[in-house]
């Protein structure tokens, strides 16, 4: 473990609405677009706290071009038992508590197992750290690094604080967005030896999306990526991938290798799951208004319906409209890689940034952990890794 001399503190601004920054052409216009007087209030489908961040210049891997991209941090409740009781105001307070803890407290860096080549997860940990937590984080770090070969670093700032007894915590993922053309080019250029589906992405300058249960198609011009996902497949970009604050009085079990104590929750599993969201296992359905995220590129209506909406071939995958509609059609959405399909949550009652809640669970990116549950020792199932592979990670 190493103790860094300092960590860059994030700025959390109290806001009463969600801000959805558009693609920007200059830092000056970004500042104007991100100011409260310029933003339009929207009603999120799930509690979130969105904080606009300064734009960054990014170099695209596909062609070396430099683009100025908008940035934002999106805080959500940590996924856990049942449905969350946290509000957007609660998440704002968790974000502020996390920022203060990381700025003023001792920070311990968990960064043990990085291979000579491949992905490097770095956890900067601060706050009232429970006994056993650092070992659990190191276990999660080692497992995730064993699964991916991308030559990138994914930095997560993680703090502990005393929260309400039934609250696991909150996590904030950093995001940017790019044009569909740049997203497609990055996914194709970043293919590894086992990738095929990316070559059948829509070849036009827009991607067709249905934002409702109707047949209406929007020719979408942009896609949101988490910073970690963007860095893995689209372009070079700076910044922390995620911020997390966990409840230090919650009933955690920090060692799943000997089973999970009755009534407790596996901290290793939760960290791997939440880091999975930071890696890009997220959907625009959960709170964005007519926008998609990387997973949604592969999301379709599960049944054909009246419009033959579910693609059966690579040719249909290239042209069929994606589906990014909240709870519509009800329980009728999946991610389709043509060779395999996975049922997905549709935003109600569970966040769309997950597989469908069912028994048996589809993968660790299931929406509701239960007491005593663990995926030890193989935390990812093929479903998890197949979708991470599809959105640009190398295996």
Tokens of 158: 């993680």
Residue 186 is inside which H or E element, if any? helix 180-189
**What pLDDT is attached to residue 114?**
64
Tokens of 186: 């990055």
**What pLDDT is attached to residue 84?**
66
For helices 133-145 and 267-278, angle between their N-to-C axes, nearest 10 degrees: 50
The list of the chain residues with pLDDT below 50 reads: 1-43
**What pLDDT is attached to residue 29?**
32
Which residue(s) pair with 197 in the sheet? none
Determine whether 377 is exposed, middle or buried from the number of CB atoms within 10 Å of its CB (0-12, 13-18, 19+): exposed
**What pLDDT is attached to residue 370?**
87
Beta carbons of 318 and 188 less than 8 angstroms apart: no
Beta carbons of 224 and 294 less than 8 angstroms apart: yes
**What pLDDT is attached to residue 13?**
20
What is the separation of C-alpha 217 from the centre of its chain, rounded to a whole number of angstroms?
A: 25
CA atoms within 13 A on the CB side of 63: 8
The structure tokens 């970043």 sit at 190
Which residue(s) pair with 42 in the sheet? none
Beta carbons of 337 and 312 less than 8 angstroms apart: no
**What pLDDT is attached to residue 82?**
61
Which residue(s) pair with 100 in the sheet? none
Determine whether 144 is exposed, middle or buried from the number of CB atoms within 10 Å of its CB (0-12, 13-18, 19+): buried
**What pLDDT is attached to residue 185?**
97
Beta carbons of 173 and 91 less than 8 angstroms apart: no
Tokens of 336: 């389709």
Determine whether 385 is exposed, middle or buried from the number of CB atoms within 10 Å of its CB (0-12, 13-18, 19+): middle
**What pLDDT is attached to residue 85?**
78
pTM of the model: 0.88
Beta carbons of 324 and 213 less than 8 angstroms apart: no
């Amino acid at each position: 473990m190493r103790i860094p001399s300092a960590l860059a503190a994030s700025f959390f601004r109290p806001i009463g609405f969600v801000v959805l920054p558009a693609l920007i052409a200059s830092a000056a216009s970004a500042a104007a677009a991100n100011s409260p007087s310029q933003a339009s209030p929207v009603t999120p489908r799930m509690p979130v706290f969105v904080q606009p961040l300064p734009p960054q210049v990014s170099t695209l891997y596909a062609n070396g071009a430099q683009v100025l991209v908008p940035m934002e941090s999106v805080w959500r409740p940590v996924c856990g038992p049942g449905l969350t009781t946290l509000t957007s105001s609660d998440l704002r307070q968790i974000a502020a508590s996390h920022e203060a803890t990381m700025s003023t407290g001792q920070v311990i860096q968990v960064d043990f197992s990085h291979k000579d080549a491949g992905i490097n997860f770095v956890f900067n940990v601060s706050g009232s750290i429970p006994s056993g937590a650092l070992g659990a984080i190191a276990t999660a770090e080692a497992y995730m690094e064993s699964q991916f070969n991308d030559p990138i670093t994914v930095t997560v700032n993680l703090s502990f604080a005393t929260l309400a007894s039934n609250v696991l915590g909150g996590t904030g993922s950093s995001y940017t967005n790019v044009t569909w053309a740049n997203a497609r080019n990055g996914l194709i250029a970043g293919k590894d030896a086992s990738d095929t589906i990316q070559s059948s992405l829509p070849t036009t300058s827009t991607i067709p999306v249905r934002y409702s249960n109707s047949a209406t198609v929007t020719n979408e011009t942009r896609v949101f990526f988490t910073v970690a996902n963007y860095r893995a497949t689209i372009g070079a970009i700076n910044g922390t991938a995620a911020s997390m604050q966990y409840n230090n009085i919650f009933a955690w079990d920090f060692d799943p290798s000997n089973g999970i104590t009755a009534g407790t929750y596996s901290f290793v599993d939760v960290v791997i799951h939440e880091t999975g969201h930071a890696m890009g296992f997220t959907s625009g359905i959960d709170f964005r208004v007519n926008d998609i995220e990387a997973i949604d590129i592969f999301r379709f209506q599960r049944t054909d319906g009246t419009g033959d909406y579910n693609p059966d071939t690579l040719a249909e995958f290239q042209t069929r409209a994606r589906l990014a509609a909240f709870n519509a059609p009800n329980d009728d959405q999946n991610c389709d890689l043509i060779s395999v399909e996975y049922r997905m949550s549709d935003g109600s009652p569970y966040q769309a940034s997950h597989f469908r809640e069912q028994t048996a669970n589809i993968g660790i990116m299931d929406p509701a952990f239960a007491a005593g549950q663990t995926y030890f020792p193989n935390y990812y199932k093929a479903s998890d890794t197949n979708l991470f592979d599809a959105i640009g990670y190398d295996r």
